[in-house]
């Protein structure tokens, strides 16, 4: 199952995947990005995020899933790592190993660790991550500050 880096021509499908993910997470009303700005941040001269695309061999040209990620750095490990912001596979393509392929490719892009957050109710995602060796980070709570636009 081929996994590849996203191209600028994938932007519309990536945006669709993000909206589908937000629907799945029951948070569609929170999606407020501008596609042109998104393009700049992912495909511009100084990208701050990257997207891996899952394109099943049986369905060439179909974007079945994605992993949106960016680089991090661990002072304790002393090496760069990866933060997995979003991992999403369309419903029709689940249970075909696409999420696993995306995670395997992501692991090759980190010298340190891969980190992520998962919704408390998403037990199937937790099970997938745990099969890959991910473990909850005990004693930590995620905080967020967000600029008001």
Report, as residue numbers or ranges, the catalytic residues: 129
Phi, psi of 18 (to 5 degrees): -65, -45
CB 66 within 8 A of CB 54: yes
Q: How far apart are CA 50 and CA 83, in angstroms?
A: 11
Angle at 11 between CA 112 and CA 80, to 5 degrees: 10
φ and ψ at residue 124, rounded to 5 degrees: -65, -35
Distance of alpha carbon 41 from alpha carbon 49, whole angstroms? 6
């Amino acid at each position: 199952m081929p996994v590849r880096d996203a191209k600028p021509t994938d932007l519309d499908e990536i945006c669709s995947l993000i909206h589908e993910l937000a629907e799945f997470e029951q948070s569609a009303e929170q999606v407020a990005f501008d596609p042109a700005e998104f393009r700049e941040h992912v495909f511009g001269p100084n990208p701050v995020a990257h997207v891996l695309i899952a394109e099943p061999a049986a369905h060439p040209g179909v974007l079945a899933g994605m992993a949106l990620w960016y680089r991090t750095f661990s002072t304790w490990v002393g090496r760069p790592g990866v933060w997995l912001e979003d991992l999403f596979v369309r419903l029709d393509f689940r249970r075909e190993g696409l999420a696993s392929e995306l995670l395997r490719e992501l692991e090759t892009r980190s010298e340190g660790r891969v980190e992520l957050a998962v919704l408390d109710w998403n037990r199937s995602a937790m099970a997938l991550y745990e099969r890959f060796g991910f473990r909850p980070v005990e004693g930590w709570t995620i905080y967020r500050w967000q600029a008001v636009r």
